[in-house]
Structure 1
């Protein structure tokens, strides 16, 4: 596994790469300086076929965006080592690792690169700074609001996909019953509410995944792969 800071790549290539990721694009639109702070907390990870990225039981605050290749989700390291059929696949454009970060719980699965095919490239973001809702010394309130708005949107979208596929399931309307924030915007009160929503949505999504397996929800963005390869090569 090869880790490289984004500073190892030409800045214009990095900007084009991150412009396709809503979180980075939205933070850059809010503040170029805050965008630079986040770049320093991010890195590109390249994996060889069959190599593990995350292990069940790991504890960390990293969130990941798959840029190129395919990852497989296994229940644990032993299942991955035995070559068992994966619980799910992760494809380019998908965000993962967000549930563990939101709930501050150990990783629930082992994630490995597909055993055959091209090398896999992942953007890893250290989200430690987003977790402390009282500290705005590095990441300011508008930046944290952007992060949690993105997380809530992403989680609700995944839950809506489950709902559309299994409308009669007992979990189908769970996320719709969560209270939405209706107070003043762009304030700490909204931030606290969004963070709470994200945690509650993450818990519901974890319950869905326990029954049906994660990794089946994200949209197929195959055209993104060629674009990423061209700007990172």
Structure 2
């Protein structure tokens, strides 16, 4: 795997590339300086077909955005398991790695580039920047609010995909029962509430994903992925 910091690329090319990602576009609209801070803690990874990006059991604080190509998700890390049908497929425009970051848990799956097809390009963002909700020395309150709003939005959409497919499932309305924040907007209180909501949504999604790998849900994986791609693009 080859990866480079974004500073190694021409700035105009980076801006065009990241303008399609809601998080970067929204932060840039809030503050050009904060956007620059985030660029310095981000990198582009390029993978050849079949090459691994993440391994089950890895511990890190990166969140990923697939820009080009296709990634396959496997529960097992051994090479033989990669020959089998993947648990899920990640396509351009999708965010992944957020559950591990939000819940501070090891990676639960191995993610590899599709064994055939084009070169894969992934943007990785170091999210240790967002973890401390008391520290605004580097990233300011509005920037952290943008991040957690994006995380909550992405997680809710993923959960709605499951709900639309399985409306009678016991988990179907779990995320809708979570209490929404109703206090002052653009405040530290909202930030804390959004971070808590993101973690709660991540736990529910983990429960869905556990069943998703059991067989019944995996049977309709491609339909779910295509639907997710359409609503996130």
TM-score, structure 1 as length reference:
0.90
| Alignment partners' CA distance in 2, 1:220 and 1:25 | 32
Residues 161, 224 of structure 2: 8 Å contact kept: no
Structure 1 match to 2:207: 207
Distance 2:47 2:232 in 1: 15
Question: Does 2:183 match 1:183?
Answer: yes
> Offset at 1:228?
19
Distance 2:53 2:175 in 1: 30
| Distance in 2 of aligned mates of 1:103 and 1:109 | 15
Distance verdict in 2 for CA 1:47–1:230, change over 3 Å? farther
Taking structure 1 as reference, are residues 170 and 232 closer, same or farther at Cα in structure 2, changes over 3 Å only?
A: closer
Q: Is the 8 A contact 1:74 1:80 kept in 2?
A: no
Instruction: Say if 1:74 and 1:110, in contact at 8 Å, map to a contact too.
Output: yes
How far off is 1:219 after superposition? 18
Q: What's the CA shift for 1:217?
A: 12
Q: Following superposition, which runs of at least 4 residues in structure 1 exceed 4 angstroms of deviation?
A: 79-82, 213-233
**Mapped partners of 1:162, 1:231: distance in 2:** 13
Counterpart of 1:10 in structure 2 is 10
> Any unmatched runs of 5+ in structure 1?
none
Work out which structure has the larger RCO, using CA pairs closer than 8 Å and 6 or more positions apart in sequence. 1
Gaps of 5+ in 2: none
1:140-168: per-residue Cα shift (whole Å, max 9, x none)? 11000000000001101111111111000
Deviations 1:86-141 (A, max 9, x none): 11111111100000001110000000011111110000000001011011110011
Q: 1:36 to 1:221 in 2, by over 3 A?
A: farther
Aligned counterpart, 2:116: 116
Answer whether contact 1:69 1:92 (CA < 8 A) is retained: yes
**Residues 55, 109 of structure 1: 8 Å contact kept:** yes
Q: Distance in 2 between matches of 1:183 and 1:37?
A: 29
Shift of 1:178: 0.3
Aligned residues: 233
Q: 1:205 to 1:169 in 2, by over 3 A?
A: same
CA change 1:231–1:98 in 2 (3 A) is: closer
CA–CA distance in 2 between the matches of 1:12 and 1:224? 34
Change (3 A) 1:140 1:117: same
8 Å CA contact retained: 2:43, 2:125: yes
Alpha-carbon distance, 1:76 to partner:
2.1
Deviation for aligned residue 1:230: 21
Helix, strand or coil at the partner of 1:78: coil
- Distance in 1, matches of 2:41 and 2:212, equals 33
Whether the aligned pair in 2 keeps the contact of 1:175 and 1:204 (CA below 8 Å) is yes
Provide the rounded CA distance (Å) in 1 between the counterparts of 2:173 and 2:229: 39
Q: Deviations over 1:204-231 (max 9, x none)?
A: 0111111114999999999999999999
Q: 1:183 to 1:76 in 2, by over 3 A?
A: same
| Equivalent-residue separation in structure 1 for 2:218 and 2:20 (angstroms) | 15
The whole-number CA distance in structure 2 between the counterparts of 1:143 and 1:218 is 36
1:67 aligns with 2:73: no
